[in-house]
Amino acid sequence: MEPSPSNDQDKIWRHFQNAASESFAAAHPRLLFLLDLIAARATGPKPRVLNIGIGDGFFERGAKGRGWEVTALDPDGEAVKRLVDEGIPAKAGLIEAMPFGDASFDFVVASEVIEHLHPEQRAAGLAEIQRVLAPRGWFLGTVPHHENLTEQQTVCPACGHLFHRWGHHASFTFDNIRELLAPQFDVDDLQRTAFVDIWGRGFVGFIKGILRVLLAKLGEPIAVPTIWWIARKSQ
């Protein structure tokens, strides 16, 4: 059974960003990886970077610490205010109607965002990413690989509404990510992995982490694999 469409996506997102921000700690290895991808491709010391979806603000603080011009976009005004109070530019808004001018950024990041969108939102959001990117700018993203959406379904005990516990509306493979990006972007790299902090966990933890990464690269569900990509705005 497919998850029921919901108009309450913002409620799920707001809960995890504010009442349960510790849930984003597991995302830190993934965000560090994306920061390193940007650093490897930046042509100057202060790339203009937009991150869509604040989470716990780890990405934005990391980018600021590297001296980059980082901006965040998120529908949750409370999360936006926290970053602004730290001196990090952030705006409340939606991916499908971004409050930024054309060609405003060298890099746009949407990590674990696309799967939260309905088809119309995805199409509009990708068009907006293409619009705000500078010529030949970079788009980086991640999504769960081939997620079984029914496994994370739950039901509201008050109203009986069936929903995905994280608010996911789509499952992705290499093929449909390529198809999704093809009209507006040239894919530079597209891979599958598990983002695991393998250091500081002892020998057994290190071995387990390595095995999980290897299994994820093979697409084994037990490893909870993630698809990541980096693509350039088409000419």
CATH number of the domain that residue 54 is part of = 3.40.50.150
Q: Domain range holding 45?
A: 9-233
Asked if the structure places residue 20 within a domain, the reply is: yes
128: CB partners within 8 A, 6+ apart: 95, 96, 97, 98
Domain tally for the chain?
1
Asked if the structure places residue 2 within a domain, the reply is: no
Asked if the structure places residue 4 within a domain, the reply is: no
Asked if the structure places residue 82 within a domain, the reply is: yes
Residue from 98, 94, 107, 100 nearest 49 by CA: 107
pLDDT number for residue 9:
62
Strand partners, 110: 141
Residue from 103, 101, 77 nearest 91 by CA: 77
What type of residue sits at position 55?
G
Asked if the structure places residue 1 within a domain, the reply is: no
- Digit-by-digit pLDDT tens for the chain (235 residues) are 233 344 456 677 677 777 666 778 889 999 999 999 999 999 999 999 999 999 999 999 999 999 999 999 999 999 999 999 999 999 999 999 999 999 999 999 999 999 999 999 999 999 999 999 999 999 999 999 998 878 877 888 888 888 777 788 899 999 999 999 999 999 999 999 999 888 777 888 888 888 999 998 989 988 889 999 999 999 7
